[in-house]
Amino acid sequence: MCRHIAYVGPPVPFGEIVLDPPHGLYRQSWAPRHQKHGTVNADGFGVGWYAPGDPVPARYRRAGPIWADDQLPDLARVVRTGALLAAVRDATVAGPDAEAAAAPFAGDGHLFSHNGAVAGWPDSVAPLAAGLAPEELLRLQARCDAAFVWALVRHRLTRGDELGDALADTVASVAGAAPGSRLNLLLTDGTTIAATSWGDTLYHLALPGGGRVVAAEPYDDSPHWTEVPDRTLLRATRTDVHLTPLKEPAT
């Protein structure tokens, strides 16, 4: 489980989105207000962002809690971006992957995070692994359920699926193979944000100066946050947001 957030909009120091809000991701690492599973997100963190004119995002990830990192405040103050994805992690199962298991995962110009858990991992999704090419399995960035879900999403993106379709199809596949999974997924290409609500909370906010935030929970007490219903796919840009119900997989 974790808390995560994505932003697209005018360039800002990424600390304005990640660290500065009174109930932002930084505080959510030890005091989340809406988290349904787990209470402390101290098993790693990461921030990924896009520099102007560069479609390949940069990342800063660490295995420890976000509040213990001395370098992050300086980076957050001086690095400006018009698109980011960040997360703090509460590991479902302890493992040796360290920062490799910390979101955001990256590839082909995308950033990705998974808030939730795959039920019965890893045996439950072995049939889905059989549908991936050997090289896709070999490039798994960590040996955790989130990294595997990212491999499934990336497989769909590589074949040309649109961001929202890639998430929706992945949720349907994993939920069908592993009923009871929690699959709140978050994905961006630096222009568009796609997200699913499937077992945990999700909100979005249009910012007064332009831009949009999609997050596991509100980072302040603004009345303008909108909660996304469970079992929903969200697609968002700086100016628009569209919600599509997700169907339960056939049994």
Active site residue ranges: 2
Please state, as a whole number, how many other Cβ atoms lie within 10 Å of the Cβ of residue 146: 27
Contact predicate 112/118, CB 8 Å: no
- Spatial separation of the C-alpha atoms in residues 120 and 125, rounded to whole Å: 8
Neighbour-count burial for 201-215, b at 16+ CB within 10 Å, e otherwise: bbbbbbbeeebbbbb
Q: List % helix, strand, coil for the chain (3-state, nearest 5).
A: 25, 30, 45
Please report where in the chains the tokens 């019965």 appear, as a residue. Answer: 120
**Is the Cβ–Cβ distance between 149 and 113 less than 8 Å?**
no
Answer whether 49's CB lies under 8 Å from 84's CB.
Answer: yes
C-alpha torsion angle, residues 124, 195, 107, 132 (rounded to 10): 30
